[in-house]
Structure 1
Amino acid sequence: MTPDDLRRALDVPARASSDFDLNPEVVLPAGRALRPAAVLVAVWDRPQGPQVLLTKRASHLQHHPGQIAFPGGKIDDGDSGPEAAALREAREEVGLASGLVQIFGRLPPHETVTGFTVTPVLGHIRADFSAIPEAGEVDEVFAVPLVHLADLSRYRVERRLWRGTWRQYYAVPYGPYYIWGATARILRGLAERLAA
């Protein structure tokens, strides 16, 4: 899979996604206020093939503790947009210099159960770098082969009890890493477009 494949995937029509996609019985209130956030879906060319950069969040964090996530976070007032926010967060969380990333474009927004509307920014890491996890926020930085994440057969629907209600979600495990929820849903959306 090449950078051109990723660029072509952006041309495939796609709709916004949500943590509620697999739970149609949930009725979301109209006019709800969502906080804007952005994540960097960074594809990194490695000797064994293209990989997607991911983090394991620290277990004490208020939002999504211990979960697998893209580098990213809320969009600050000083950010010029989602791309700037995603690059800033990647620099802070994993030590990825913005100049090493070529931005390809945006994937459809994703609404989370925690009240964020997340803009995934698809980018290509153009050179090697040594990841530096942000102390206190990131426990681990690792990469997963894009060929694994692009394989729709790797995704499964699971469920867990959340706030007294069973909620279904996508998961795409890889080795010791349990990738689920918003991260898995965003990756599945990209996989669907790569397969189109």
Structure 2
Amino acid sequence: MSTALGAVAVFCGSSHGTSPAYAAAAEHVGRTLAERGITVVYGGGRVGLMGTVADAALAAGGTVVGVIPRSLHDRELAHTGCTELHVVDTMHERKALMADLADAFLALPGGAGTLEEVAEQWTWAQLTIHAKRSGFLDVEGFWSPMRAVLDRMVVDGFVREAQQHIVTIDPDLDTLLDVLASAPTWTDKWGGALPSPTP
């Protein structure tokens, strides 16, 4: 069973990284989401992989919604070409609004901020604060260590096996988007039900 993806939040680096493959993947993500009619929700920046995703989606005629803290906006890091740009006061507000606006979450290569953002949404799904999936686009094996960590979490009893598939790690974007669009199948940490869909 699958559900329509109206919007996907993309988490990624505010730098380009050392491999040209990262920027190429970011461009591919932005263009593909636009071509599928899926709104890009992202951190609102014009720099790094973030800016590449937004530029590619906009160039393909897509809708791009940025959410940026005021402190970063005031440093002239905001992407002024976004379809919509929300300026919030804190990083906490940024993540909460992105979660509200998106139907699923996709992580490209990035640093601590990228990992923290997607891990929070993974945790919220685990607690059934929402019922939205997360995916890691495994560009050149960047997220392969995360797969090993997730497997270890399950083996050592920190993540229930039934919840292991809240997150998917895959090098193929089309496969990831199909998984992100599939209906949730997990329960919360204690076996409780998923929240009802927002009308």
Higher relative contact order (CA 8 A, sep 6+): 1
**In proportion to residue count, which structure has more strand?**
1
Which one has the bigger helix percentage? 2
Shorter-chain TM-score category?
Answer: under 0.3
| TM-score, normalised relative to structure 1 | 0.27
So what's the TM-score if we normalise by structure 2? Answer: 0.26
